[in-house]
A and B are shown apart, each in its own frame.
Chain A
Amino acid sequence: MSRGWGLVLFAVAALAFGLLVRGPYYLNIAVFICIHGLVALGLGLLMGGAGQISLGHAGFYGLGAYASAILTTRWGVNPWLAMGLGALATGLVAALVGMPTLRLRGHYLAMGTLGLGAIIQIVFNQADQITEGPSGITAIPYLSIAGLPLSTDHRFFFLVWPLLLGAMLLGGNLLDSRLGRALRALGENEGAAAAAGVDVPRAKLAVFVLSAVFASVAGSLYAHYLTYVSPSPFGFAFSIQLLVMVILGGEKSLWGPLVGAGVLTVLHQVLAGAAHQFPFFDGLETVAYGVILVLFLIFRPQGLAAPLRKPVSTSPPGPFPGAEREPVPQASSPAAEIAALPSDGSEPAAPGVKP
């Protein structure tokens, strides 16, 4: 049960951090790692589980933040209820975009979420009757537990890390379940998963909606933590940062997105600090994100959090029929691709459009 131990370790570390560290600077970073980690976790489930990308997760994050901000400041809705309503609405929006795009093969979800994310940010900016436009919504109330307002970094930290832990538990359970296996199976080979009876579009939709809900809850947390929201953090740039987090950490592991969120959030702080002193650092930070992303894709596609080596099987190799044979290599060279072409009159399943 290594995953269980990992979660316990995380809980102990977070608890110790919360008890020992008092400086608001570090607590602030830790809170943001947890909030970003929650969004990245959801996105990681989508990417690692279903093999789909979303280019609009910042939009879902923003929907949660604005739902909380608007419901609590305008109508005095209880913040917790607002968080739930925001998650529900975000889930519905995600389902509306996911349903048509996930029916199709290929990366139509990426395109759909790209458009959706862009529209969401434009609405935040333009619908100033409701959203106060570019200047944003202020005086969002704090969350409170049993009458205690979570108004300090310290108190808030003790809300976000258990929530993140809970979300990781849910994610871990999901990956180990019937649906989780179906998702991993279709991420590797959609046709084979369908042949095994997996309703591929439905499974993808389920995990996509879940990941949007995670993002929305994280957005609500953001709104109640800063007590202020404006459109700028919820744009395409943040969607890309989220992708970088997931890939940096490794989308195939449950821990990967959190590790990525941690590294990138700290990196952002460090580089932003440096940019204060040396203005040209401002652009270099962006360069760094891009270069890190490409380098990781090329040299460490499994991400930081994945084990260095594949787990070695514990049982000795047994008597298979033909155990002396090597596994077939995956079709990668042109020759192998030719060999893998269906020998039948059927159209080649993949025209091999890889560069």
Chain B
Amino acid sequence: MISPLLRVVGLTHNFGGLRALEQVTFSVPEGAVFGLIGPNGAGKTTLFNCVTGVFPPSRGDIWLAEVPLTGLPPHAVAALGISRTSQNLRPWRDMTVLENVLVGCHLLGSCGLLGSALRLPACRREERRLRELALQCLERVHLADHAHDLVGELPLGGQRMVELTRALAANPRLLMLDEPAAGLHTRETQDLGDLIASLREQGLTVFLIEHDMSLVMSVCDRVAVLDHGELIAEGTPREVQADRRVLEAYLGGAAE
């Protein structure tokens, strides 16, 4: 039995009177690619936001390995080893590709205001180390040639790649991707699938929300299905695909 890296227990979240998540319980095994699917409005992004501390859940607990995450602010969650991308949290368009990745390396450094402003030797060394690291990350995804371009000038596929690289630069234990394939075309989606598979090979745990079913079915080890804030199924892609309630949820969602 593989130990779970992320455990979500009884997670409930309300927006005013609206119940977005209801008693959601599941766990993401270490080293797995875990997919979260569900119709629009099912609460998937809300779940991501609760896990990463964007807003504290109304009830329930979240654990990363043995460390409780509940109630921590986003930067503290990130410091524990969770990197995420998101539909809304786009890369910083006014910064260069390299700078974007360097922001991703934020947690790997420690220089503060005075050290940076005075360029103390320790901070210069740290800066050099981070730059090398960021460039290595960019080389791995073949973006090194574009290191000094503004991200806003890249095509969508390139921007998405920068964001992924930024998230990976922090060397996370858990990578959370919110609809990484949205807006990409087939070819790009395949490349993305290959990348996720190779990350899995390297032992990284990936937790992703995705609408593209072919991607989910090809890369995920396990899939959970949310509908109206409730977890209605969890299992291997094949099991989930055959689940009657899942089919109903999707058909019902389509009929709305």
* A residues neighboring B (CB under 8 Å): 170-171, 173-174, 177-182, 184-185, 188-189, 191-200, 206-207, 210, 252, 310-311, 313-315, 318, 320-328, 340, 342-347, 349
Contact = CB atoms under 8 A, between A and B. Distances in A.
B208 to A, nearest CB: 14
Interface stretch (B59-67, B105-113, B196-204, B213-221): B105-113
Interface in B194-241: 228-229
Contacts of B89: 189, 191-192, 195
Nearest to B54: A191
A310 to B, nearest CB: 7
A310 B116 CA distance: 27
Contacts of B40: 343-344
Interface in B33-55: 40-46, 49, 52, 54
B115 to A, nearest CB: 8
Interface hub of A185, A206, A207, A321 (most chain B Cβ within 10 A): A321
A197 B78 contact: yes
Closest 7 CB pairs of A and B: A177-B116, A322-B157, A197-B78, A194-B74, A192-B89, A197-B107, A344-B45
A181 B41 contact: no
Contact of A174 (B116, B152, B228): B116
Contacts of B91: 192
A188 B94 contact: yes
Contacts of B148: 313-315
A181 B113 contact: no
Nearest to B151: A327
Interface string B73-113: 11100110001101111111111000100111111010111
A293 B127 CA distance: 38
A207 B103 CA distance: 17
A349 B116 contact: no
28 contacts: A173-B116, A178-B123, A178-B126, A179-B111, A179-B112, A180-B116, A181-B99, A182-B103, A188-B92, A192-B90, A194-B74, A195-B52, A195-B86, A196-B106, A197-B75, A197-B170, A206-B112, A206-B113, A210-B113, A313-B148, A315-B146, A318-B145, A322-B157, A326-B156, A344-B43, A344-B45, A345-B15, A349-B88
B188 interface: yes
B2 interface: no
B158 interface: yes
Contacts of B105: 178
Interface hub of A313, A343, A345 (most chain B Cβ within 10 A): A345
B119 interface: yes
B159 interface: yes
A123 B130 CA distance: 47
B46 A344 contact: yes
B18 A345 contact: yes
Given A192-B89, A340-B88, A200 B75 contact: yes
Nearest to B95: A184
B161 interface: yes
Indicate the size class of the contact surface on chain B.
35 or more
Given A195-B86, A197-B107, A344-B44, A320 B116 contact: no
Given A194-B54, A326-B155, 20 more contacts: A173-B116, A178-B126, A182-B103, A194-B78, A196-B78, A196-B107, A196-B167, A197-B170, A199-B75, A206-B112, A210-B113, A313-B146, A321-B158, A321-B187, A321-B191, A342-B87, A342-B88, A344-B46, A345-B41, A346-B15
B20 A318 contact: no
B92 A346 contact: no
B92 A174 contact: no
B242 interface: no
A170 B126 contact: no
Contacts of A313: 146, 148-150, 153
B185 interface: yes
A194 B73 contact: yes
B173 interface: no
Contacts of B84: 195
B92 A192 contact: yes
A349 B155 CA distance: 25
Contacts of B228: 345
B123 A198 contact: no
B107 A321 contact: no
A314 B54 CA distance: 38
B113 A179 contact: yes
A325 B156 contact: yes
B111 A177 contact: yes
Contacts of B187: 321-322
Given A178-B130, A349-B88, A322 B184 contact: yes
A195 B112 CA distance: 19
Contacts of A252: 94
B247 interface: no
Contacts of B1: none
Contacts of A182: 103, 106
A191 B88 contact: yes
B44 A191 contact: no
Interface in B131-162: 142, 145-146, 148-150, 152-159, 161
